[in-house]
Amino acid sequence: MDNKVAIGDIRVMISDFLIKHAFSKVAVLVDENTEKHCLPLVNKSIDDFDIIKIESGEENKNLTTCQHIWQSLTDNGYDRHALLINLGGGVIGDMGGFCASTYKRGIAFMNIPTTLLSMVDASVGGKLGVDFGTYKNHIGLFQIPNQVCIDATFLETLPEKELRSGFAEVIKHALITEGNDWNNIVSSSFESMEWSTVIDKSVAIKSKIVAKDFKESGLRKILNFGHTIGHAIESYFLEQGVDQKILHGEAVAIGMICELYLSCKKLNFDQADFDKIVAYIIKTYGLIDIPESGYSMIISLCGQDKKNAGNKIQAVLLKSIGIPITDSEIDSEEILDAISYYSKLNI
Ligand SMILES: NC(=O)c1ccc[n+]([C@@H]2O[C@H](COP(=O)([O-])OP(=O)(O)OC[C@H]3O[C@@H](n4cnc5c(N)ncnc54)[C@H](O)[C@@H]3O)[C@@H](O)[C@H]2O)c1
Ligand SMILES: [Zn+2]
């Protein structure tokens, strides 16, 4: 399957694409940050376009914002031969893609991911959609963008915390894949990463997995490594209030440590590899204090993961680096043990 991802110089990629197609109109979807930092890098490559601006943030990834996008397209007379360019992180890409795919039963759209997370994760695999109340990504569809253009230059203005968060997905991709990817990562520090190379490799890993299992009936589940416990920890901190919120990648980093700990216990994951991975993750993310009073809530949140079957908690554990085992059952006591292990690293 062609995932339509191009990596290179953004101006060249946009011009090449526009020359090949005759669109009736072009709109660029931005938020206040990408309008300021990213639009100047692309505006000269598009002759004539409208800007559709939304407010940044996951809290705006909803149907109300979609309504504003659909309304703008309607008010400006966009027909079925128009193009929507989604310039931003995963929020803009998921929501803009969803709006384009449903406007007049679908117009063309290009995603230009501008965060590391959206480059290596959200831009590949065709998952589009928005949140619905408290349900994340509840309304949406699978649809491959007409083009995805990745240029690491955008990362120069991305806040370092966001960059670090996206890097967790890079680590995840490397750990679930056989080959040299993990060794390449662990041999450099986060600060000295060569982002174009890292993105290239990480996108290739996800593309290969998605190509084999587009609708997530089997293999694609391995991408949830670190996410069963990670998501629960992310939700727990969010419940404590917006000021307590931790970033997705920070939570996934903890989730990977906990799930690897269980991989050692249950699948004999190599202890030396485990120690090395834990040391690298902690060097990159530091240690986040999880209050003991939160453990039971985190465990119950693991139980609510929509990927579970019945009332069993399922996670992706690793037999070794590159050998993920999906649908591995973990119970409450094991999760408690893993979180306690992580918390003791602090002492
Ligand atoms: N479709 C998928 O397969 C998939 C996979 C993973 C995550 N996601 C989704 O992605 C979203 C998270 O994406 P994200 O982490 O990119 O967050 P985001 O889109 O909220 O972007 C993070 C912040 O960075 C700002 N920003 C973006 N690019 C910038 C730049 N170059 N310079 C300065 N600021 C910039 C944004 O305005 C925003 O404030 C979630 O909604 C998640 O559900 C989707
Ligand atoms: Zn993730």
- The structure's pTM equals 0.96
Residue 124 CA: which ligand 1 atom is closest? Answer: 3
37 flagged as catalytic: no
Q: Which ligand is nearest to the CA of 255?
A: 2
What is the rounded average pLDDT of the residues 249-260?
98
Residue 239 has pLDDT above 80, yes or no: yes
Q: What is the mean pLDDT of the chain?
A: 95
CB of residue 33 inside a 6 A radius of ligand 1: yes
173 flagged as catalytic: no
CB of residue 89 inside a 6 A radius of ligand 1: yes
CB of residue 88 inside a 6 A radius of ligand 1: yes
- The predicted pLDDT at position 312 comes to 81
Residue 24 has pLDDT above 90, yes or no: yes
User: pLDDT tier at 206 (50, 70, 90 boundaries)?
Assistant: very high
53 flagged as catalytic: no
Q: How many CB atoms are located within 10 Å of the residue 275 CB?
A: 11
- Catalytic member of 3, 61, 111, 169: 169
Residue 279 has pLDDT above 70, yes or no: yes
pLDDT tens readout for residues 37-66: 999 999 999 999 999 999 999 999 999 999
Domains of the chain in start order, with CATH, are 5-157 (3.40.50.1970), 160-344 (1.20.1090.10)
